[in-house]
Structure 1
Amino acid sequence: MSTIAFIGLGIMGSPMAVHLAKAGHQVVGYNLTPNRTGPLTEAGGTAADSIAKAVAGADVVAVMVPDSPDVEDVLAGENGVFENAQPGTLIIDFSSIRPDVTTELAARASARGFRLIDAPVSGGEAGAINAALSIMVGASAEDFAAAKPILDVVGKTIAHVGPNGAGQTVKAANQLIVAGNIQLLAEAIIFLEAYGVDTAAAVEVLGGGLAGSAVLNQKAQKMLDRNFEPGFRIDLHHKDMGILTAAAREAGVVVPLGAVVAQLMASARANGDGGLDHSGLLRGVERLSGSTSPTSK
């Protein structure tokens, strides 16, 4: 068993840290707002009031924070991981950030005697709670092997997809596919409702055919119920679509549908929906169709 410092106990990080504690690891959690540490301490972990205290004596540092600047601050900022962790520490960054930032941070980590892998996840809150996340890992073969026992506790589908930065690149592709599926599902539901069909029955039969998907299974009912309690916020998916479109431009790759969905995601934020689950893209379809959405939860 390892001593794990887990930094970032939000919607995703908290259940992941809990799984690690229940698996027998000694988990010390830190979150910028301390009221997030309750589930971890109830599971047998402990809470720290600083990054420095969390990483002291840790074999592994896990990071799950929202964006590239947050990861840079946690790792390389004043009183961050690089200043306080012991040499040889394995750093697993579960965050979804820019591939170039990951590559640069990995080089800086190596220069200071640390090992850093990028291991962004897919599956949302449900995947984190059920330890069923898909994890795409950018790392050396040796570092991937070292991290695998930790990843196995929180994930179900785990793949080593290349060197540092490759995990973030695959995650960007994942977010492109998910955003497109959510947008099209939202359009289909508004279309079905306009014709007064039995939408529950329609969703069931669509799920049994080629239109079926994990997105349909997890998000259709939320759309039908207009329950947009966040499992993965539009704010974060907007950030991810920015990563995707910027990386595609740098590679000279055209993503026309992705660019449109990125704009629709930006529109949702501009209309005050950033804190909703990304299934809340349905509200944008309603606005464009001139209809009024019931109050979202």
Structure 2
Amino acid sequence: MPPPSPIANLGPDASIGPVAYIGVGIMGAGMARNLLKAGVSVYAANRTRAKAEALVGDGAKVVDSAAEAIAAGCRVVFVNVPDTPDVEAVLFGETGVTAADASLVKGLVVVDHSTICPVATKGFAERLAEHGATLIDAPVSGGDVGACEGTLSIMCGGDRAAFDAVRPLLEHVGKRITHLGPAGSGQACKACNQVAVIGVLSGVCEALALAKASGLDLQQVVEVVSAGAGGSWQLANLGPKIASGDHAPGFMIDLLLKDLRLVAGAAGTHDLPLPMTKLVETLYQSAAAAGAGREGTQALATVYERLGGFQYSE
């Protein structure tokens, strides 16, 4: 008997069957909740179990591993964990995807929303294929706000048929969903995204520093500039937080620095110099060294405060 095909004809209701969601932190919790709101049955697992249990009120069932979720009938496994080794553990660890019954792994689709190494992603896809499963790399952009509101940009790589099969599920968590090519393509695009993000955010910090020195109301500057050619997601969403001194994490500096290591690896593969990226990376390293590693990326502003001897929120 041939292995089951990747899930096809997924609809918007609960009849599609349960899905697993491994990693329900800042981003994953909002995304899992949007699946639940759409009527999808979700089995949630997290290294810190309490984070998965926080979704029970939304209708989620809690499991301890990907293998347990697959045994419960999940045919799609979403993964949203911090780094490449974490993804490898979810896929190939003792209680990971491939630890499930071999007959259940065949035909499974794994959607990895983590931001990890593109080269490693290609290897993971090949290893899963040996078990009859398919990997779609699908990193996201849009921060915790986009995760909660279901407006994320999702960058996908991998088998096109499997992507088409799970797209109805992705539409519950994202607004722009793009298939970019074979396995690893989504991760390569996410690296490009992070390069653009850090350049813009450093510009936002500098623009607001100049506004502060000029005696302008920072919230007004955010509103005015956002309406013109200087507008950006970073300015509109993080500008007000910088102005008020709010450094609560939507996406932590430590995780961004991890992403920038991936960017450096990708650029090195192509012998491509990224001088602006390296410069801004040193500013983030300075912020982390001063204790802001677990704060939001907007805490880059603290570096400018130290350099300029001022505070945005005074």
With the length of structure 2 as denominator, give the TM-score of the two structures: 0.91
CA contact (8 A) 1:91 1:114 kept: yes
Q: 1:148 aligns with which of 156, 159, 167?
A: 167
- Is it true that 1:211 corresponds to 2:220 in the alignment? no
Alignment deviations for residues 154-196 of structure 1 (CA, whole Å, 9 cap, x no partner): 1000000111000000001001111111111011111211221
1:29-178 map, 5 Å = 29-56=44-71, 57-84=73-100, 86-178=105-197
By how many angstroms is 1:45 displaced? 1.6
Q: Structure 2 regions of 5+ residues with no counterpart?
A: 1-15
TM-score by length of structure 1 reads 0.96
Matched position secondary structure for 1:95? coil
Percent identity among equivalent residues?
41
Q: Separation in 2 of the partners of 1:267 and 1:76?
A: 35
CA separation of 1:181 and 1:137: change in aligned 2, threshold 3 A = same
Contact 1:9 / 1:36 at 8 angstroms: preserved in 2? yes
Runs of 4+ with >3 A deviation: 290-295
Alignment of 1:237 onto 2:253: no
Q: Say yes or no: does 1:276 pair with 2:295.
A: yes
CA apart distance, 1:292:
5.6
After superposition, the C-alpha distances for 1:62-118 in whole angstroms (9 at most, x for unaligned) are 000011111011111222111115211100000000101111100000011111110
Give the Cα–Cα distance (whole angstroms) in 2 for the partners of residues 126 and 112 of structure 1.
36
1:294 and 1:238 map into 2 onto residues whose CA distance is 25
Tell me the equivalent position of 1:259.
278
Query: Aligned partners of 1:197, 1:215: CA distance in 2, in Å?
Result: 19
Q: What is the RMSD computed on CA atoms of the aligned residues?
A: 1.5
Letter in 1 for 2:66: I
State the SS of the aligned residue for 1:157.
strand
Tell me how far 1:217 sits from its aligned partner.
0.6
Deviation at 1:264, TM superposition (A): 1.4
Contact 1:2 1:60 in 2 (8 A): no
Q: Which amino acid aligns with 1:25?
A: V
**Does the 8 Å contact 1:21/1:40 carry over to 2?**
no
Q: Which runs of 5+ in 1 are unaligned?
A: none
> 195-204 or 21-30, which moves further after superposition?
195-204
Q: Provide the residue aligned with 1:188 in structure 2.
A: 207
How many Å separate the matches in 1 of 2:247 and 2:311? 15
The answer to whether the aligner puts 1:27 opposite 2:42 as a matched pair is yes
Helix, strand or coil: the match of 1:220?
A: helix
Cα deviations by residue, 1:138-161 (Å, 9 ceiling, x for unpaired): 012111111101111110000001
Are 2:27 and 2:143, in contact at CA under 8 Å, matched by a contact in 1? yes
1:293 to partner: Cα distance: 7.1
Bigger mean CA offset, 15-24 vs 209-218: 15-24
> Residues of 2 paired with 1:55 and 1:283: CA distance?
45
